[in-house]
Amino acid sequence: MDHPLAASSLTVLRDERTPRSRFRPTLHDLATMLVYEATRALPTMPVTVTTPLATTAGVRPAAEAVVAPVLRAGLGMLPAALGLLPDAHTAFIGLARDETTHRPTVYLEAVPADLTGRPVLLLDPMLATGGSALHCLRLLLDRGARGITVVAVVAAPEGLAALESGLPVAAAAELTVVAAAVDERLNDTAYIVPGLGDAGDRIYGEM
Ligand code: URA
């Protein structure tokens, strides 16, 4: 996403001196911009609306969206998504990162059984190896979701490549990734460089 306000919010998030008290509201602001961009093609249906002066044409979302934050860090983006999509359902996917293998361990999957025909946004600030996102995308695809949008603050080239190669061709072609930046690389502990550090720790504190 190329926008001066998004770039300036991302700079605040990257800064190691930014305290938690400023990190959270800045993430909220940036997530609002990212979700706004991610919903640019949201299907709508025509309605009529009566103003104080006349009846005219309007629109409303054609289907209730589903927002799926990846716990824990994705929760930091959830209020912004629900602010723009107040009728959305929330699907919770809990994944812990194994610090040795860097692979995700699943501890929660609370996802609507049928996602057919519903716009789905997967929220995760950091698209690093792509392992967590791939797990979530396969789950969402299994439940009938199509044309999913991944909303991230920072993406690594390795993560984007993993999504491209790790999904069925048709699903990869229908996938959209909206991120504020694509960074240089992953380091040897699978953190994004330059990145912003551990997003969950910066939002909620170290475990
Ligand atoms: N998760 C994070 O929070 N930060 C990274 O850089 C990579 C994964």
What are the tens digits of pLDDT across the range 95-148?
887 778 878 889 999 999 999 999 999 999 999 999 999 999 999 999 999 989
Q: Would the CB of 158 count as within 6 Å of ligand 1?
A: no
Domain membership of residue 182 (yes or no) is yes
Share of the chain above pLDDT 90, in %: 91
The alpha carbon of 200 and the centre of ligand 1 are apart by a number of angstroms equal to 8
Sequence-distant (6+) residues with CB within 8 A of 153 are 10, 13, 27, 30, 31, 34, 77, 125, 126, 179, 180, 181, 196, 199
Please give the single-letter amino acid code of residue 91. A
| pLDDT tens string 186-205 | 999 999 999 999 999 999 99
**Global pTM?**
0.95
Task: Given the residues 90, 97, 129, 183, select the one marked as catalytic.
Answer: 97
Number of domains comprising the chain: 1
Return the CATH number at 8: 3.40.50.2020
Domain membership of residue 142 (yes or no) is yes
Contact (CB, 8 A) for 127 and 155? yes
The alpha carbon of 64 and the centre of ligand 1 are apart by a number of angstroms equal to 30
Domain that holds residue 9: 4-41+64-204
DSSP type of residue 178: E
| pLDDT tens string 141-173 | 999 999 899 999 999 999 999 999 999 999 999
Whose structure tokens read 């723009």?
A: 84
Domain membership of residue 47 (yes or no) is no
Contact (CB, 8 A) for 120 and 140? yes
Domain membership of residue 53 (yes or no) is no
**Mean pLDDT in residue range 44-73:** 97
Domain membership of residue 58 (yes or no) is no
